[in-house]
Amino acid sequence: MTRVGFAVSKRVGKAHVRNRVKRVLRELVRKYLPEIQPGFDVVIIGRPALAGKPFSAIDEAVRRQLVQAHLLN
């Protein structure tokens, strides 16, 4: 079983901006969860650069990081 946690600091923006970033990250992890190798604890940190990005750009970034960490099957 893989567990995923999210951390988005106040440097990202006001509460509504941080919540949007977390919602997008949660949705992307939900999309990739079947592909992620089981047995890992993953922490995804939302950086300020994510605040103004469209969904597709965040999707690319998350996928790239998961591949780089060798977590995707």
Averages of pLDDT over each 10 residues, the chain, 73 residues:
94 96 96 92 94 94 94 87
The predicted structure's pLDDT at residue 27: 97
> Under 8 Å CB-to-CB from 34, ≥6 apart: which residues?
none
In a domain, 73, yes or no: no
For the record, the structure tokens of 2 come out as 């893989």
In a domain, 18, yes or no: yes
Residues 36 and 66 sit within 8 Å (Cβ to Cβ): yes
| CATH number where 30 lies | 3.30.230.10
Total of domains in the chain: 1
| Distance, CA of 50 to CA of 23 (rounded, Å) | 12
Structural domain of 48: 3-68
For the record, the structure tokens of 49 come out as 């650069």
In a domain, 45, yes or no: yes
In a domain, 27, yes or no: yes
